[in-house]
């Protein structure tokens, strides 16, 4: 009987539940997943898997660095996903600069944002209303997932200028966002109704919650979705490009189809999502972990 691999898991409890990781059975999957906290003794584990983006911004960055050093100095101890590569996911400006240095396939582009500092002007960046304002911090703060929709100069002047915020153009699209997930080589895409501007008011919403009624698009017909959705091959190429550039294989990203020219626009990119839409997440994650260790 082959050895059962013992894996320390550094992720929040809600991710355990959403990904149904309690169903990973050592006898069936060959690994045992054990929830661990920062500072725990790792000597009994063969590997760890983590989402340390949380700890990098909540005051535990030094503890994460200690784990990184421990892993480098312990022979045959495996860290699933390189710790020193995930820092780009906690800062939208850092992530944007990284993507711009590692271009996407020619049929896709990343939608750039600009710091909302004292020198910001629409003219300097060839922007026009409506605009979206997001926090530079991509995770770990109350503002990380808040998005403001700005539709006039008056509304923009109500927002305090700060290097903590970025201004993004609103991409005119078809009311559909394509949510894409890659768990290693397993890639899926699902469509969801997206932000549609029915009114001219300034709006703020949490991107991790259902859209407010005033800006939520209607259910989109299957024919329209089929006519604008990226092909699975296009999604795989974008995924491959992002995974190759970052050396990170557990990713999620959002794509829009721009109305004006049909270009695929990458508007969000995250590390270690919950992989909604992928069948048998526990089994595929177990297989991914074993492949990394072996």
Sorted by sequence, the CB contacts under 8 Å of residue 24 that are 6+ apart come out as 31, 32, 33, 282, 285, 286
Give the bridge partners for 114, in sequence order: 167
Task: Give the per-residue pLDDT at 91.
Answer: 95
Reply yes or no on domain 5-81+279-293 having CATH 1.10.10.1100.
no
Task: Give the per-residue pLDDT at 283.
Answer: 95
Fold type of domain 89-271: D-amino Acid Aminotransferase; Chain A, domain 1 (3.30.470)
Distance of alpha carbon 100 from alpha carbon 123, whole angstroms: 22
Task: Give the per-residue pLDDT at 214.
Answer: 73
- 211 C-beta neighbours (distance < 10 Å), count: 18
Task: Give the per-residue pLDDT at 92.
Answer: 96
Task: Give the per-residue pLDDT at 115.
Answer: 97
pLDDT under 70: residue ranges of the chain: 1
Domain ranges of the chain: 5-81+279-293, 89-271
Task: Give the per-residue pLDDT at 1.
Answer: 43
Task: Give the per-residue pLDDT at 70.
Answer: 96
| pLDDT tens by residue, 109-166 | 999 999 999 999 999 999 999 999 999 999 877 789 899 999 999 999 999 999 999 9
Distance of alpha carbon 23 from alpha carbon 8, whole angstroms: 16
Task: Give the per-residue pLDDT at 2.
Answer: 75
Task: Give the per-residue pLDDT at 201.
Answer: 86
- DSSP letters spanning 180-245: EEEETTEEEEEEEE-B---S-S-EEEETTSPPPGGGBPPPPPHHHHHHHSPPHHHHHHHHHHHHHH
């Amino acid at each position: 009987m082959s050895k059962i691999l013992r894996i320390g898991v550094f992720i929040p409890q809600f991710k355990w539940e959403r990904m149904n990781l309690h169903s990973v059975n050592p006898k069936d999957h060959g690994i045992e997943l054990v929830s661990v906290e920062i500072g725990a003794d790792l000597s009994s584990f063969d590997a760890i898997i983590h989402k340390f983006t949380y700890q990098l911004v909540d005051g535990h960055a030094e503890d994460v660095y200690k784990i990184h050093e421990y892993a480098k100095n312990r022979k045959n101890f495996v860290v699933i996903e390189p710790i020193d590569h995930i820092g780009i996911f906690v800062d939208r400006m850092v992530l944007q600069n990284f993507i711009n240095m590692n271009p996407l396939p020619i049929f896709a582009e990343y939608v750039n944002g600009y710091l909302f500092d004292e020198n910001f002007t629409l003219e300097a960046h060839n922007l026009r209303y409506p605009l979206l304002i997001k926090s530079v911090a991509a995770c770990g703060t109350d503002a990380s997932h808040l998005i403001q929709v700005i539709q006039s100069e008056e509304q923009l002047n109500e927002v305090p200028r700060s290097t903590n915020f970025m201004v993004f153009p609103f991409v005119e699209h078809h009311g559909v966002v394509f949510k894409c997930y890659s768990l290693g080589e397993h890639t899926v895409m699902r469509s969801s109704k997206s932000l549609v501007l029915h009114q001219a008011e300034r709006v703020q919403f949490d991107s991790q919650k259902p859209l407010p009624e005033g800006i939520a698009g209607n259910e989109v017909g299957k024919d329209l979705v089929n006519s604008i959705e990226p092909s699975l091959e296009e999604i795989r190429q974008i995924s491959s490009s992002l995974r190759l550039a970052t050396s990170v294989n557990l990713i999620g990203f959002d794509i829009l189809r721009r109305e004006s020219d049909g270009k695929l626009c990458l508007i969000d990119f995250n590390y270690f999502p919950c992989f909604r839409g992928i069948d048998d997440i526990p089994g595929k994650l177990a297989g991914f972990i074993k492949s990394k260790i072996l």
